[in-house]
Structure 1
Amino acid sequence: MNKLKFAAVAGVVGLIAALAGCGGFVYTTVGGSVTGLTSTDSTITNTLVLRNDANYTQTLSADGTFAFNVASDASYTISVLTQPTTVFCTVANGTGHMTGSGSVTNVKVTCVPSVQVGGTLNGMNTGASMTLENNINNTDTTLQDSKTLSVNGVFTFPKYMPTGKPYDFSVYIQPVAQNCTITNGTGVADNTKPVGSFANIASVNCVQAVPVSVALSGLAAGGTIVFQNNGDTNSINMITQTINGNFTFNQSMVEGQAYNVTVGTQPAGQICTVTNGSGIAHLANPAGASNIPVTCVNK
């Protein structure tokens, strides 16, 4: 009986040893250190999420060490899944293949300060509001980083930008009956020149302008029509509507600027005609650009 027990134990030990030899139940760790993550501002907590391969994550909020559990013969790829708010982190020595049961501790995550970009708003009417956007990747498909302003003065965008990354400000929504333009709205973020030093400051200046609007009638139920001003396909100079009524373009025209309202997309089964859709904007007599008639009839 004792011999049988001994044989059974020996068999189990042998099996474990065999599994260990082929990476079976043996796990070790891969990790390293994080520096630059701890915020110097007590009101801000930087949260960094690291990922190993696609399935394993660790969340860190201060400088220190970290480690992932990995099989002794596994490959690893450590990357940043979620960047912190005020710093930008990169990973060194983050890929490799485990060659034994020893731990890997040389992965280095280094975080450097990011910077807020912004500017000054001047000339917007009291009670008005406008929305600016920062197209970090120079795309206009979504609002990646936006700021709605209701008073004149200094502003900053919510998102911090990594040093070396380009920024590009544009007006997403104009204030009513005004036209705002941006000076020095493009550049490269530089954490040695924070917004407080006015090195990254753009100037947004608003002047009085003439709103351009349409009066739509005859649009059939379920129909969709798209208007354009001056052939512009930017959303600020387009109106998409599915009902009849009066609608105003987001972009108002400055004194002496030409406007030309056209139908960019006709509704299915109908033809819509614009009457007196072009002219020159005049602040003293803005009526010509107001409620431009658009009539739809069935084909």
Structure 2
Amino acid sequence: MKKKKSNIFSTIILIVLFAAYMFPFIMVVINSLKQKRDIIKSPFSWLFTIKGLSFDNFVKAFTQMDFLNAFKNSLLVTASATVLVILLAAMLAYYIVRHNNKISKITFALMVASMIIPFQAIMIPLVSIYGGTLNVLNHRLTLIFMHTGFSMAMSVFMFHGFIRGNMPMALEEAAYIDGCTHTQTFFKIVFPLLKPIISTMAILNALAFWNDFLLPSLVLTDKKLLTLPLSTYSFYGTYSADYGTIMAGLLLCVIPILILYVVLQKQIISGVVAGAVK
């Protein structure tokens, strides 16, 4: 009886926490269907209390933010940076784990230490060097390069733990006996077995790159190169903002990454818990 009451209490707590967590998102969905006057007058009112609901905000947001072009830019930057991070981080982590020398230890220690440095502490020198000295800002390749560099430390740390705890050396030794080179062993034996952690890092990095506003705002100024988070800023005026269109634009930005999460959900969960159970 006590166990049953405890389960009921735990369920109620989880429901309350879930409702509190989802409430802002639900309000964004609801307000995206309202007119501006209704949002200002009663932003917390539910759909059935408001008349004149429509999808005009979505049509306006799609046009004003040049959604297709912004989506293309976000997709190109996110996909390229995610692939580069996963490939380079997996290769570096594998080398560090399998080559236990001073260079590997120092490299790993420096990468872990760099994780505590906030981006805000280096963004001014970064823009000064790349913009003033090298003059390579306002290019997609520059943004992809920066995303890749800033995400390497965490990705190497995650891959390092997974390879060290879940990759048996016997498989690689068998590959070497069969005549495989180190490169062939990594790409044919090791890399396919990294699928759980690859899926986890793919969704984490893709989320970070897709939703990032600060770094793209420092690198990109050309309207043709703006990503989705930057394009939503066009809805903000000097003295007012079109809240309904902003909500619709935010939803348009979120939907693609939600689809990616749903597709990779099982792999993400297995990657997160990998190594927790021996």
Compare the two structures and name the one with the higher strand fraction: 1
Q: TM-score higher than 0.5 here? A: no
Compare the two structures and name the one with the higher helix fraction: 2
Bigger Rg, which one: 1
